[in-house]
Amino acid sequence: MTQASDYINAVAATVKQRDPNQPEFQEAVGNFLKTITPVFEKHPEYIKANLLARLTEPERALQFQVPWQDDSGKMQVNRGFRVQFNSAIGPYKGGLRFHPSVNLSIIKFLGFEQTFKNSLTGLPIGGGKGGSDFNPKGKSDAEIMRFCQSFMLELSKYIGPDMDVPAGDMGVGGREIGYLYGMYKRLKGSQNGILTGKGLTYGGSLARTEATGYGLLYYTSAMLKENGKELAGKKIVVSGAGNVAIYAIQKAQELGATVITASDSNGYVVDPNGIDVPKLQQIKEVQRGRMKDYAAIVPTAEYHEGSVWDADLQYDIALPCATQNEIDGKRAAGIIKAGAFAVAEGANMPSNPEAIAAYQDAGVLYGPAKAANAGGVAVSALEMGQNSRRNSDSFATVDGELKDIMETLFANSVAAADEYGVSGDYLAGANIAGFSKVAEAMMAQGW
C-alpha cells in the first residue's frame, strides 16, 4: 500500500462512519475515490492539505420545512434541501429536484457529482444541489405554485447571483422555475441571474431546454469518433421520457441513429421505426401523459410494463436517461448481451458499481454521467453570462458553444487518463480532470 492509497482508504472509512445511512452519497464518493489514487501519488501536497476530507464534506447543508396548502384547504408539509458542496471555482451551481425519493443522501450525492461535472465544463461554477420530497405529479398548477412560493420563501435566504444559482432538475421544469423566480423577485427585487432554465421572456437562454440531451449526444459522438466509430446507422435504446431523454432522442436521430425506445416509471415503448419525437413531446410535455398513451397513438409502437433494461432487444448503444441506479450488474449483463458497444449516461449515476465494472470488463465504451450529461449545466452557466451582459445569444451560437464544450470536455478527460496512466478509462479520466481543477483552486486559496 502506498501513502496515497492509505490516505484515500482512510477518507473512505471516515465517510462511511459519518454517513452510515446515506447509501447514494457513499456510492458516489466510493466510485470517485477508486479512480484518483494516481493524482495523490503525483501530488503528495494534496495529502498534507487533506483535500479529500474537505471535498467529501459539503461546505453547507441546509434542510428546512416547506408548508403549503392543497386545493382542499389542508395544510401539507414537505422537506426542502440545499447542499452547497464546493465553491472553489465559482458560485454554487446545481439543480433543484422535486420527487418523493429526495432525501439528504441523494442531494449530497448529486452535489458531490455536480462539483466535478461543473469543473469539467471549464466554466467558473462550483457545485451544489437541492430540492424537496414534494411530488408534482397529480398536483394542480395552483398547488405547485403555492408549494414553489413557500419553498423559495426559505431558499431565498441562502442563494444569490454571485453565491448560489439553482436550476431545474427532475420534477422542476419551466413552470416550476417560473413560480420560483416570481417569488424570489417579490422577496428580493428583480434579479434574473438568480435561477437558470428560465423562460425566454425573462432572461432564459435559447437551447437550455435541449442542452442536456444534445450535450449527451455530442459527448457520445466524440467518444465513438475516438474509437473509430460513428452514430449514423446505429440502433439506440434510451430510458426515460423527460427533458433529457426527449432531446437525446431528437439529436440522436438528427445524427443518423435510430432510437427504438422511451420509458417512464411504469413501462416502456419499443418502436422499431424510431421514436416519433413530436408525438412524444405532445404526450409528455403537453398532455403530461404516460408512455402507454404514446403507444395508443403510434401504430408501430408496442407498450410493455417494467424496465426497458429488462427487455429482450438488440441494439448498439445504451443511453440511460431516467434516474440513479436504474442499471445494476444483471441489467448491465443484459445490455452487453444485446450487443451494445457503448453506454453514455444522461441521468445522474444511473449505473451502480457492479454495472460499471461489467461495462469495463466487457470492453464497452463507458461515458460517465458527470461528463456525458454536463451539457445542461454548461448552458446554464452560459445563461448566467447572458444575464450578466443583459443580452441573449442565438440558438445556433449557444448550440455551437455547447458542442465545443462537450468535445473539449471529452478531450480533456482523454488527456487526463493518458497523463495518469489509465488510457481509455473515461470514468477515471473525467474524475481526474474534474478533480484536478478543483484541487488546484483550493490549494491556491489556502488551507
What DSSP assignment string belongs to 409-445?
A: HHHHHHHHHHHTT-TT-HHHHHHHHHHHHHHHHHHHT
Look at residue 161 and tell me if it is in a domain.
yes
Give residue 192's pLDDT: 84
pLDDT of residue 447 exceeding 80, the answer is no
Give residue 285's pLDDT: 87
Look at residue 113 and tell me if it is in a domain.
yes
Residues 174 and 265 reside in one and the same domain:
no
Residues 344 and 220 reside in one and the same domain:
yes
Look at residue 378 and tell me if it is in a domain.
no
Predicted confidence band at 288 (pLDDT cuts at 50, 70, 90)? Answer: confident
- Quote the domain boundaries for residue 327: 211-363
**CATH number of the domain that residue 221 is part of:** 3.40.50.720
Rounded Cα–Cα distance for residues 400 and 398 (Å): 5
Give residue 406's pLDDT: 98
Closest Cα to residue 260, out of 268, 209, 290? 268
The number of folded domains in the chain is 3
Residues 315 and 277 reside in one and the same domain:
yes
**CATH number of the domain that residue 171 is part of:** 3.40.50.10860
Residues 292 and 314 reside in one and the same domain:
yes
Q: Mean pLDDT throughout 172-180?
A: 95
Give residue 191's pLDDT: 83
Look at residue 337 and tell me if it is in a domain.
yes
Q: How many residues does the chain have?
A: 447
Residues 250 and 318 reside in one and the same domain:
yes
Q: Mean pLDDT throughout 425-434?
A: 97
Rounded Cα–Cα distance for residues 430 and 413 (Å): 5
* Residue from 117, 129, 198, 284 carrying the catalytic annotation: 129
Q: Which residues contact 405 (CB under 8 A, 6 or more apart)?
A: 121, 122, 123, 215, 374, 375, 378
Give residue 190's pLDDT: 80
Give residue 239's pLDDT: 98
Lowest mean pLDDT among 100-114, 190-204, 238-252: 190-204
158, 191, 224 — which closes off a domain? 191
Cα 361 to chain centroid distance, Å, stands at: 25
Look at residue 372 and tell me if it is in a domain.
no
Q: Mean pLDDT throughout 343-361?
A: 96
Look at residue 374 and tell me if it is in a domain.
no
159, 191, 223 — which closes off a domain? 191
Rounded Cα–Cα distance for residues 325 and 355 (Å): 9
326, 345, 363 — which closes off a domain? 363
Look at residue 355 and tell me if it is in a domain.
yes
Residues 172 and 38 reside in one and the same domain:
no
Q: What percent of the chain has pLDDT over 90?
A: 96
Residues 47 and 11 reside in one and the same domain:
yes
Rounded Cα–Cα distance for residues 307 and 299 (Å): 21
Supply the mean pLDDT for the chain: 96
Give residue 274's pLDDT: 97
Rounded Cα–Cα distance for residues 218 and 262 (Å): 20
> For the segment 253-273, what is each residue's pLDDT rounded down to a tens digit?
999 999 999 999 999 999 999
pLDDT of residue 107 exceeding 90, the answer is yes
Residues 65 and 186 reside in one and the same domain:
yes
φ/ψ of 425, rounded to 5, equals: -95, 95
Asked if residue 219 lies in contact with residue 412, where contact means CB atoms within 8 angstroms, the answer is no
* pTM value surpassing 0.75: yes
Closest Cα to residue 208, out of 5, 401, 66, 43? 401
Residues 221 and 355 reside in one and the same domain:
yes
Asked if residue 136 lies in contact with residue 106, where contact means CB atoms within 8 angstroms, the answer is no
Q: Examine the residue annotation and report whether 129 is marked as an active-site residue of this protein.
A: yes
Residues 177 and 311 reside in one and the same domain:
no
Give residue 312's pLDDT: 96
Rounded Cα–Cα distance for residues 327 and 398 (Å): 32
pLDDT of residue 1 exceeding 90, the answer is no
Predicted confidence band at 165 (pLDDT cuts at 50, 70, 90)? Answer: very high
Q: What percent of the chain has pLDDT over 70?
A: 100
Look at residue 205 and tell me if it is in a domain.
no
Helical spans, DSSP H, in 234-287: 243-254, 277-281
Residues 173 and 241 reside in one and the same domain:
no
Residues 224 and 178 reside in one and the same domain:
no
